[in-house]
Amino acid sequence: MATDTGEIPVVRMQESSFEAFYRSNRQHIFRALALTLGNRDLAAEAVDEAMTRTYQHWRTVSGFDNQAGWTYRVGLNWARSRLRKRKREVLADQVPERSTEVSFTDPDLDRAVKALPLDARAVVVLRHYLDWSTDDVARALGIRPGTVKSRLHRAMAELRQQLGMKDEA
Amino acid sequence: MRLEDRIRNELHDTAERLALDPGEYRRAIETARRRRQRRIIKALSGMIVVAGLVVIVLALRPGSEVVVSPSTTTPTTPTTPTTAAPGPTTTALPVVTVGAAVVTAGPRGISWTVLGTDGATGVLESDPYYEAISWVESDGEGGLVFTHEVSPLPWDQGTLLWLPAGAVAPQPVAAPPPQGLIMPIGVSNGRVYYRLDSQGTSTVIGVDLDGQNQEIVLPATSELIAASLSGSVLAVVRGIDCAEIDLFATDGQQMPDGFPDCYPASINDLALSGDSLYVLEDGADGRVLRHLTTSGQDLGASPVDGWQIEVLDSETVAVGGTTIAVGAFGGDSFVPQTEIEGSSTFALVPELRVDPAASLGSGLGEIPCTPLDLPALASQGLPEAVEAKRQQIFELASGCEMGRLAELVLEDNAAFTFGGEEDPVRTWIASARYGFDVLAMSTRILNSDPAPDGAGVYSWPAVHATNSEEDWQALSGILSAAEFEQYYQFRESGYLGLRLGIDPDGRLVYLIAGD
């Protein structure tokens, strides 16, 4: 809408850098959210909401080391709030509708991962799907690196127990 | 195969099957702009959106409208509520245009945004360091009942709090048991009603605001979907396969109603207001907001895009009362959030009388920072500017002058975090909650010997610049045995604990921990 106000270059530069971010990250963030939430539709809504908010705060977010991490966190928080508010979906979260459920091919692993708390699932997905470092995961989730390590450790121990595996440590 | 590899393979295989329709980045941009424009327009025109016995749909997504069911719609029985009533009417909400105020309690604190008769706005902010509020409601006596997204110390996560009129600090009303979750429903006659989710069941409980006299209103059930309170009547919807709406008095007695035993649509949420019941249901063509009466009459439905509904009593606002809104995640606290998004909620506060200095949570006073009576620093023979800055930081840190130390950090553009946080105080408060007191540690490392790092910056402790065994051992006099061990095990990567750097010109370059 700006014409000759002098805002055009700034606006365009902002749009341009956001577009690059959007194109290269939307799919990854969606997949990470879907794997974390176990729900494809919720993840799709969450990533779109998170992208909108990312643009709203793009001046700040574009300066972050891990912009995708911030967007993932916004999406996860949004979805978490939505789950909390929509009580029916909280229940459905435990038994997701088949059409939107995200399932692994390995049923045992699928069951075990879904039994993990959401926070633990987020750490597992960011570390083992996006291959982010402990620090990147910590920044994305707004927690300390030590917390990431302990959550991951507990999650893996829980999965081993669920899967009847011996502790490899 | 290692478990880590097995998980990694599964995650990648599964992700490959997850395709998202190509997104159009401009959609996000346009949505963001529309939201901003709407906020600005409403703020400048000095309008506060209030509801005159209407339902406001929260968390509206782009392009959606605030919709009310027209009361003039011909009543029908709710036999086919999955289909929206033909030609739903969109009605502009009543507004208060003059002399009103919006109080936002968002991620950046409680803010009073005063809307003058000429549309001018003024803003007062207090306590910008408390945690975001997830739910808030008036106690009817000038105070607030609320919960945090993340309950600050010393309260357990999910604690329901009460900030009475005139008080500066809240007090706990109820805290969830381990693995339990409190979901507030409403406040009525000095009692707050909440849903306690624990071990797969939900129980509706009423408790006096002082935390005494707790009573179960609705026994534990695994099928509670939503509940809403209006006066002394509680509306609940239960049942997954067959949703049933029931009315209860707050003493637990079931009341007569005109709703079918099995509601013919999935219900996401409901909101009760006097004789009106608003139901947010999933219809065949999308989500609709249906207006029913408690006797079962269907007064019409409108398509909506929200997922949560609340009812506001308009009477008080109409005479110039105050509305309190809880900002959305990352929202702008200084703009009246007449359009509420995301995890927001808001409530009417007819007479807000809490102390302007009131903290809703983790104010600085709660931070375990005790001024330290330490001997003055001995000179280390450093350049004058460096010594002066070292002394200044030491005095601020030992005196718990968190705000002034933050000013210094920002003035010098010093690094204080590896995250995206822009406020040093928030960073230090967060650290303190995890038991890492940056200020106290600063006083300790400033008593150690410094060493210039590769950029000529004087670094405390010296081991950060040298990583020598000798300097590591010197740390043992600064750190506790546990702290020392924690850092020493990663010595190959260097010292990653708190370090402080001052350049020869006396500029604080970093006060930071981690990597």
Furthest-apart CA pair in chain B: how many Å?
Answer: 88
Residue of B nearest to A11 (CA): B29
Q: What pLDDT shows up at residue A32?
A: 93
State whether A48 and B28 contact (CB < 8 Å): yes
Determine the Cα angle at B231 with ends B229 and B235, to 5°: 30
What's residue B69's pLDDT? 25
Q: In this complex, do B20 and A26 lie within 8 Å of one another by their Cβ atoms? A: yes
Smallest CA–CA distance, residue A56 to chain B, in Å, is: 6
B18 → closest Cβ in A26, A34, A84: A34
Tell me which of A55, A60, A77, A131 to substitute to probe the interface with B (most B C-beta atoms closer than 10 Å). Answer: A55
Token output for B65: 């409208």
The answer to whether the CB of B306 falls within 8 A of the CB of B287 is yes
Burial profile B366-398: b = 16 or more Cβ within 10 angstroms, e = fewer:
bbebeeeebeebeeeebeeebbebbebbbbbbb
How close is the nearest chain A Cα to the Cα of B235, in Å? 15
B contacts of A124 (beta carbons < 8 Å): 7
Say what the pLDDT of residue B460 is: 96
**What is residue B404's DSSP assignment?**
H
Full-model pTM = 0.47
Q: Is A131 left (phi over 0), alpha (psi -120 to 50) or beta?
A: left
Q: What is the pLDDT of residues A61-110, one digit of tens each?
A: 777 777 888 889 888 877 876 775 554 444 444 444 445 788 888 889 99
Q: How far apart are CA B144 and CA B142, in angstroms?
A: 7
Q: What is residue B490's predicted lDDT score, i.e. its pLDDT?
A: 80
- Give the full edge-to-edge strand order of the sheet including B458-460: B451-452, B458-460, B499-502, B508-512
**Which candidate in B13, B14, B21 is best for mutational testing of the A interface (most A CBs within 10 A)?**
B14
How close does chain A come to B513, measured CA to CA in Å? Answer: 11
- B25 and A19 in contact by Cβ < 8 A? yes
Of B2, B11, B515, which has the smallest distance from its Cβ to A129's Cβ? B11
Rounded to a whole number of angstroms, the distance from the CA of A2 to the nearest CA of chain B is: 13
d(CA B295, CA B449): 79
CA dist., res. A73 & res. A56, Å (int) = 15
Question: For residue A116, which phi and psi values (nearest 5 degrees)?
Answer: -75, 150
The count of C-alpha atoms lying within 13 angstroms of the C-alpha of B93, restricted to the half-sphere facing its C-beta, is: 27
Among B246, B282, B306, which residue's Cα sits nearest to residue B55? B306
CA distance B186 to B248: 14
Q: Which of B7, B202, B268 sits opposite A124 (nearest CB)?
A: B7
Chain B interface disruption, residue of A19, A42, A128, A162, most B CBs within 10 A: A128
3-state secondary structure of B462: coil
* % of residues, chain A, pLDDT over 90: 11
Helices (H), A38-168: 40-56, 58-61, 67-85, 87-94, 107-114, 118-128, 134-141, 145-162
Write the CB contacts of B5 (distance below 8 Å, at least 6 apart in sequence). Answer: none
Give dist(CA B28, CA A23) in Å, integer: 12
β-strands B100-106, B322-325: how paired? parallel
Closest CA to A86 of B427, B473, B281: B281
Closest to A141 measured CA to CA, from B180, B183, B430: B430
User: Which of B14, B28, B36 shows the shortest C-beta gap to A51?
Assistant: B28
Q: Pairing between strand B322-325 and B346-349?
A: antiparallel
Strand B233-238 and strand B224-230: the pairing is antiparallel
What was the pLDDT predicted at B357? 61
- CB of B202 closer than 8 Å to CB of B196: yes
Comparing alpha-carbon positions, the chain A residue that sits nearest to B431 is A144
Residues of chain B neighbouring A79 (CB-CB closer than 8 A): none
Residue B83, pLDDT score: 30
* Contacting residues of A for B36, CB less than 8 Å apart: 56
Instruction: Tell if the CB–CB gap between A48 and B27 is shorter than 8 Å.
Output: yes
Residues of A in contact with B330 (CB under 8 A): 53, 56-57, 74
| Residues of A in Cβ contact (< 8 Å) with B31 | 52
Q: Which two tokens stand for residue B54?
A: 């209407």
Residue of A52, A54, A94 best to disrupt the B interface, most CBs of B under 10 A: A52
Q: Which of B32, B225, B515 sits opposite A135 (nearest CB)?
A: B515
Residues of chain B under the 70 pLDDT cut: 23-24, 32-134, 149-153, 179, 240-241, 283-286, 304-369, 419-422, 430, 433-435, 515
Asked which of A42-51, A117-126, B29-38, B359-368 is least confident by mean pLDDT, the reply is B359-368
- Asked if A54 and B28 come within 8 Å (Cβ–Cβ), the reply is yes
Indicate left, alpha or beta for B468 from its phi (over 0: left) and psi (-120 to 50: alpha). beta
CA-angle at B417, arms to B411 and B419, nearest 5°: 125
